[in-house]
Structure 1
Amino acid sequence: MNSTNETEAAKDPILTLNSIEVLYDSVLLAIKGVSLEVPNGGMVALLGANGAGKSTTLKAISGLLKAERGKVSRGEIRFDGQVIGDSPPQDRVGLGICHVIEGRRVFEHLTPDENLEAAAPISMSRQTLKSEKERIYSYFPRLAERKSAEAGYLSGGEQQMLAIGRALMTQPRLLMLDEPSLGLAPFLVVEIFDIIQKINREQGLSVLLVEQNAVAALKIVSHGYLIENGRVVMHDTAAALKANSDIQEFYLGGGEAKNFHDIKHYRRRKRWLT
């Protein structure tokens, strides 16, 4: 299931973050010099505990910080070689950036079919609309079975599939997923992540995956970044991260159950940063 390969590492990045900082209310520094790359057609995970800065990083990329009184105060964000730091969210969507926000936000009073149509660009032809819906239903047959039911009555897993399907209707070039496994049964997590990997493989869609579930994420991505307290403290291939003793201990369930903040010390932090 792991998509790691040497050719992907050689691809030019579709997304580059260069030492970005994010301020809230011009006071609170939430992101402290984060740099990362997503290869064109690649899959990358941004891992970390709750509150580490993962969602804020995605919002900086999609332009959703302003609604939360946040801003990128330093650094550069490039998409396909273009600096987009000052672009409004709608322009970033037009470039091909799609952000699936945490929480499976769908129109609950509409059917899955109506949800997909509502997400389609106004300029999309009826023929393209029909073919895009058919393509999405082929990836998510559960949605095809429930396409006439109100979305509010779908299960959590089905709503997550619908949220991803709505994103695909915009025909993105970069799909950013914020905690897609949150609150889902393990078998559904495996199913959804398998589908994400299949879409990446068949469509060449670049994916930036934010996850606390490092086990699931590292099975489908080629590279990962570990963020703590607004800083990237580790970056490597998925295979290397899975083999790292610190990652195993704190993120993959290895070793005895411990309190991460109590036992983390300077020597370990120094080793991660070197």
Structure 2
Amino acid sequence: MPALILENVEVIYDKVFLAIKGVSLEVGEGEMVALLGSNGAGKSTTLKSVSGLLGPERGLVTRGEIRFGDRSILSLGAPERVAGGLVHVLEGRRIFGHLTPDENLVAAYRGRSIARFNELRDQVYAYFPRLKERIKSKAGYLSGGEQQMLAIGRALMTEPKLIMLDEPSLGLSPLLVQEIFGIIQEINAREGLSVLLVEQNAAATLDIVSRAYLIEQGQVVMSGAADVLKSNPDVQDFYLGGAEHTDYRNVKHYRRRKRWLA
């Protein structure tokens, strides 16, 4: 059974701007799926429509359906969606810089049992041993990679069934991206956790997911198995470093060509 289904979802900001236009996608239980696209394509808006975080930005789902597990979640607030097993790691990490890593984990824990908290915290430190080494440091003084690890670890404290990661590679070196993506794979394999990964870094992402969707100007223009997208000439030209062979006079026809090939 799919963990998450979006059917023809549209989002409008300020009752005027149509940000995503009929987006449909699904993530299976225990599956890793990517949502790829350039800056401003609608990736983050898609995630916020799922996590219930559109309101503070004056956004609204005006059409379509979002189902998590066996029920619609459009009527639920963000805290209720987290309680149901959905967690969203926002772009830019958004950790509490004035708190230690341990205090960040305490802030995210929703249960009442100290024993369960300790189990989850130990699990986070097992996946991210760097955080345990920096346990007494203020989170604001951690490196960018360590802050990203803390953001993911904090999300795991909510015991999610599906984790949505928005640009976890942003601002990180290739080696750190490789390390963090490897840990995400390990968590997915060991915990059976469903993952929806939003990225601009298509090359690294397509190596770890089973399927991917490509979004452009608010619409999904291509989807399929990761290896199929990697072999697509348009994806290679515009997302995998093959653009040096592109005739830029024809770039304006790119979206039409991609949709035709899809």
- Measure, in 2, the Cα distance between the counterparts of 1:66 and 1:261: 40
- Measure, in 2, the Cα distance between the counterparts of 1:42 and 1:258: 34
CA distance 1:147–1:57, change in 2 (3 Å): same
What is the percentage of aligned positions where both structures have the same residue?
A: 62
SS of alignment partner, residue 264 of structure 1: helix
Shift of 1:264: 3.4
Shift of 1:270: 4.5
Shift of 1:254: 1.5
SS of alignment partner, residue 209 of structure 1: strand
Shift of 1:271: 1.8
Deviations 1:91-133 (A, max 9, x none): 1001000000000111111110111111100x33100111111
Shift of 1:272: 3.4
2:137 corresponds, among 113, 127, 149, to 149
The 5-angstrom pairing of residues 113-192 of structure 1 reads: 113-121=102-110, 123-192=111-180
2:207 corresponds, among 219, 233, 236, to 219
| Amino acid of the structure 2 residue aligned with 1:221 | V
| Amino acid of the structure 2 residue aligned with 1:178 | D
Partner of 2:260: 271
Partner of 1:43: 32
Shift of 1:261: 9.0
Check whether the contact 2:166–2:197 (CA below 8 A) recurs between aligned residues.
yes
Q: Which runs of 5+ in 2 are unaligned?
A: none
Check whether the contact 1:41–1:205 (CA below 8 A) recurs between aligned residues.
yes
SS of alignment partner, residue 219 of structure 1: coil
- Measure, in 2, the Cα distance between the counterparts of 1:55 and 1:264: 24
Check whether the contact 1:233–1:272 (CA below 8 A) recurs between aligned residues.
no
CA distance 1:27–1:260, change in 2 (3 Å): farther
Check whether the contact 1:120–1:170 (CA below 8 A) recurs between aligned residues.
yes
CA distance 1:183–1:258, change in 2 (3 Å): farther
- The RMSD of aligned alpha carbons is 1.4
Deviates more, 1:134-143 or 1:257-266: 257-266
Deviations 1:185-220 (A, max 9, x none): 000000000000000000000000000000111111
2:187 corresponds, among 199, 217, 222, to 199
1:85 maps to 2:89: no
Partner of 1:230: 218
SS of alignment partner, residue 256 of structure 1: helix
Partner of 2:42: 53
SS of alignment partner, residue 220 of structure 1: coil
Q: Which runs of 5+ in 1 are unaligned?
A: 1-11
Q: TM-score, normalising length from structure 2?
A: 0.96
- Measure, in 1, the Cα distance between the counterparts of 2:115 and 2:249: 54
- Aligned residue pairs, count: 261
Shift of 1:81: 1.8
Q: TM-score, normalising length from structure 1?
A: 0.92
2:86 corresponds, among 93, 97, 103, to 97
